[in-house]
Amino acid sequence: MHSPLKFWLRRTVLALGVLLMGCGSAGYAVDSATSACRQNPAYCAQVVGEESVVPTLRVAAKETVVPAVRGAAEVASVGATLRVVLDAATKSRIEQALVECAEWADAKVNQERFGGNNPTREQCQEELPRLDPCGKKVTRAMQLGTEKHALALQCAERKLGALIPGHFNLEQRYRYDRQSRRTELVSPEEARALRQQGCWGELQGTLVPDVVIHTGNPLLVQAVYDFKFPCPSGNKPRWNSYPRGHPYYESNQGAMYQEALGVEPFRVAPEGVIH
């Protein structure tokens, strides 16, 4: 029969092991939406996608909640330590799946809108008779990008759910403070409540990558991907720059993802992954 001390020690070691692996019993719910104001509704950066997946990571034995806030340096350090979990073969399969999703979404929308042809430059620049949620003009390119993003994310959810269940989030919203270099998760419920209350300023500086690969905790990021659908297709996929007045003005999506999440992000286009 084990002594109380030995029993306590075994329980403690087990709980610590689960925390360090970032693989405690976790529940994940997907709540995705699409908006032209994804990056920051207050400043209307022209990026597709909005709502996020936010997990609550709990260790079953003790119901210990893993803090949802980490400093950027800590995220990078811990993420680097655990990044070996994402081996080269798995990363290759992930990227292949994402490219397949981009190809499928691009082809499907082009088939529906243009009979399978790629839109011309003139068609891409056409202004539609409506405004986006921020009151800005909407071009055909923006509409096509929104539709293709939505399909690509649906596809990614299916493929990654089969490939790496529990280790990816779609459109995860992060709040990042550049002064303190601290990153935290923002739940869909919090974001919705702030919008309903008119507190758009509380969402300033939030970042919403399309696909985040992680160790089991979305704050321990292993890889970041954004879908890009240039219009016309000959344009080079690029990171969106933040407009004047935005907290990240003079920077772009890619640079901010890397600063806040501690990994180099990649763009995924129908032509492939851009490293």
pTM attached to this predicted model: 0.71
C-beta separation of 98 from 271 below 8 A? no
Paired tokens of 14: 């087990």
- Give the per-residue pLDDT at 69: 57
Return the DSSP state at 167. Answer: S
Q: At what angle do helices 140-163 and 88-114 cross, to 10 degrees?
A: 140
Tell me how far apart the alpha carbons of residues 51 and 149 are, in angstroms, rounded to a whole number: 13
Residue 205 backbone zone (phi > 0: left; psi -120 to 50: alpha; other: beta):
left
Q: Determine which of 53-62, 163-172, 213-222, 241-250 has the lowest per-residue pLDDT on average.
A: 53-62
Q: Which of 275, 94, 247 is nearest to 167 (CA)?
A: 94
**How much is the average pLDDT of 238-266?**
94
Q: Is 180 exposed, middle or buried (0-12, 13-18, 19+ CB in 10 A)?
A: exposed
Rg (CA), the chain: 20
Predicted pLDDT of residue 57: 29
- First-to-final CA distance of the chain: 57
Strand partners, 82: none
% of the chain beyond a pLDDT of 70: 65
What is each CA distance from 39 to 48, 133, 149, 200, 207, in whole angstroms?
8, 13, 14, 12, 6
Give the count of alpha carbons within 13 A of 39, CB side only: 22
Q: How confident is the model at residue 246, as a pLDDT?
A: 87
pLDDT at 132: 77
